[in-house]
Structure 1
């Protein structure tokens, strides 16, 4: 009779605790892939520099014009290029080497930053020049975002795409916290605008270095290399139209940004309700997103990603609505941080659904639509919030509209059953039209 094998000893408590933490903490496995690691390092530096410039431009425009109207025009100036080049840039990304397109658009963005630096050094003092540079930069950003989003699923395995997106969004949110702090210090220096734009140019050069070391990433599959232009853009839009999972993922984000984006109300709330603290209000959402990213290891194990996206958007809108009802700055900031945590989760699933559901031959075009929605939605939300606050008051513009978002998203998600029941492990997306 053979001897009974010894019983396997249970793992020690320390090992079990480490395993549990790996299932909760930020999943860093995509960093094992060198191409993704270089992309993330370069983009992380660029995120910080971009936020420095995003703070500096409105401050400089206001200093030159003494008009909030011109400050508002800085957002409008970039909207049309964002839409046009987001859609067309995505079509180009499905026709040519995405690495080449990413590098070219990044070089254009860097050139615009250098132009902003030179106009500050030369003390040109021209608001139209700054607005023109903002428009060019928005177009370049739209193209580079479409190309980069189409690259990520090609450089990491599909199961790690949620973790890769989480790393990207977490890095971006860190930039949203750190960048404005750096901008505040640099702008206060003599010739502060020059220092700020110079810092962005230096940080963005790290992205250029990472882009130069990318391998060739040519589109594959049916339709790859097809003729671009308007027809190519329409093919991508038709693909979305017949895919409820995709158009609902865009629809819930549009609802979240247009109905429950409170940032345009922060200056009024800080002055009339909290007696200050506008900086804390602006940073609270990003702080919550960073915190959620650090404990996001569970996101890659969720299969019902459509349902998870809807729940995250409802959580975002609910937290925003509650933040609009309190009269203590700390409570409002805590609720906005909770909203930021939900926003991080929704962003990860929205991006992951797009990247894994779409065939590679259409990823650039669909990523272009994603860029338009994600970057354009908050601009529309600011317009909605400002217009409502001026006519209906702060409470309805903040809390009332956010609660409407909750109702809209829950109703739509339950009615669009393919989205509500979407299972990433069993998904079979429709084939793209030639």
Structure 2
């Protein structure tokens, strides 16, 4: 049996900093976020760049649909723009994963971060010029998402080369917390800034922030392929090799299936507007909608801040299983809640569970895959993370129309629990995995 199904395949080139600092903390520090990876200068630079882009990218994420709606007055065009960004993201994430396994990842990060920054500048130029062209916006969005698809696998795959294996979960908790914080702070900041400075300046702020990111990446060490044979072109054959590799390493395949189960069956965001307008209308539709969208990210941030409670766990497989079952139960509770405040609590609990799942799924991908395959595994991970919630939007939207919003949400949560428990019993590789 492949050793990656029950234990790590071997740490490649992680710094030694580390293991000496693996002493369990005492007192309140046991509960607080594990910040040991930040003692490693290279990881600290990568993480610092994530702080800047987490908020800046959300400014553009708000500005683009807002500008499209202002031009067209149609939510259908906003949805079309979202799909226009999804296709290049999926294609280039898969290709970017192969490229990340065949060239210096630092160089790839420099090129792609620079490309994203230039795209943000072009967003600013079209906005300040008053072009008012939906076609231009959709093309720029597609280009930006293509660069992001190339960037994400290299960024995530680099973590295992910068921190030791025992700190991978802590490093993922740090990165995920920052990204989730950006999803809360970025939209709120955009909402405050739009009436004050206008849309064009949001694009400009993002572009300036990305320049800081480019500088942080420039200061990273070189990250060439560890295996000389990996230095070849990255094409379709290499992408296919990645899927073949994943199919023969059950723990990797199961980690992706676990995320698909959680997101497709259990992400009910498409029903938030209906719930705000019907179930929670007495609380105020606008307030209800804002709280529903913010609750999961807020819970995830809280989970990250107190990630010291779980990030040192060794049984990564069981942590993923437990987190996804908890997510399903919390979503079920949300669907059964007639009180807005109780619903927010259940969604926040789901957010905490999602953070735990993200931390350990990410750690499994980095430790169970060899370095020459990490980029491609991260490419698939990016596709799953981007595509799962969109499939959920279609599924939950249809179910909500057919059965009602609350039954659809509660039923989806129960499906998550049943499917995850079935997967756990049928395929033992995930529950056996530990570092």
Same fold? TM cut 0.5: yes
Q: Is 1:232 paired with 2:232?
A: no
The aligned residue for residue 205 of structure 2 is 199
Alignment of 1:25-424 (within 5 A): 25-189=32-196, 192-221=198-227, 223-275=229-281, 276=285, 277-424=288-435
Report if the CA contact (8 A) 1:159-1:300 is conserved: no
What's the CA shift string for 1:119-153, capped at 9, x where partnerless? Answer: 11111111121111111111111111100011111
Report if the CA contact (8 A) 1:221-1:359 is conserved: no
Report if the CA contact (8 A) 1:323-1:332 is conserved: yes
Equivalent-residue separation in structure 1 for 2:337 and 2:229 (angstroms): 53
Computed over aligned residues only, the root mean square deviation of the Cα atoms, in angstroms, reads 1.5
Deviation at 1:222, TM superposition (A): 6.8
Equivalent-residue separation in structure 2 for 1:181 and 1:227 (angstroms): 43
Equivalent-residue separation in structure 2 for 1:68 and 1:45 (angstroms): 29
CA 1:320–1:223 in 2, change beyond 3 Å: closer, same or farther?
A: farther
Report if the CA contact (8 A) 1:151-1:217 is conserved: yes
In structure 2, the gaps of 5 or more residues are 1-23
Question: Structure 1 stretch 362-371 or stretch 224-233: which is displaced more?
Answer: 224-233
CA 1:273–1:35 in 2, change beyond 3 Å: closer, same or farther?
A: same
The aligned residue for residue 4 of structure 1 is none
Equivalent-residue separation in structure 2 for 1:337 and 1:155 (angstroms): 31
Equivalent-residue separation in structure 2 for 1:99 and 1:122 (angstroms): 35
Q: Could you state the TM-score of these two structures normalised by the residue count of structure 1?
A: 0.91
Equivalent-residue separation in structure 1 for 2:210 and 2:311 (angstroms): 30
Equivalent-residue separation in structure 2 for 1:164 and 1:240 (angstroms): 23
Q: Which has the higher contact order (CA 8 A, sep 6+)?
A: 2
- Secondary structure in 2 matching 1:301: coil
Question: Structure 1 stretch 137-146 or stretch 378-387: which is displaced more?
Answer: 378-387
Report if the CA contact (8 A) 1:87-1:369 is conserved: yes
Report if the CA contact (8 A) 2:93-2:379 is conserved: yes
Deviation at 1:226, TM superposition (A): 3.2
- Secondary structure in 2 matching 1:273: coil
Deviation at 1:18, TM superposition (A): 6.9
CA 1:383–1:222 in 2, change beyond 3 Å: closer, same or farther?
A: farther
Q: Could you state the TM-score of these two structures normalised by the residue count of structure 2?
A: 0.91
Deviation at 1:255, TM superposition (A): 1.1
Equivalent-residue separation in structure 1 for 2:334 and 2:220 (angstroms): 43
Deviation at 1:377, TM superposition (A): 1.1
Report if the CA contact (8 A) 2:332-2:414 is conserved: yes
Report if the CA contact (8 A) 2:173-2:311 is conserved: no
Deviation at 1:21, TM superposition (A): 2.1
The aligned residue for residue 11 of structure 2 is none
Report if the CA contact (8 A) 2:170-2:312 is conserved: no
Report if the CA contact (8 A) 1:35-1:155 is conserved: yes
Number of aligned residue pairs: give it: 407
Which has the higher Rg, Structure 1 or Structure 2? 1
Equivalent-residue separation in structure 1 for 2:210 and 2:338 (angstroms): 40
Deviation at 1:296, TM superposition (A): 0.8
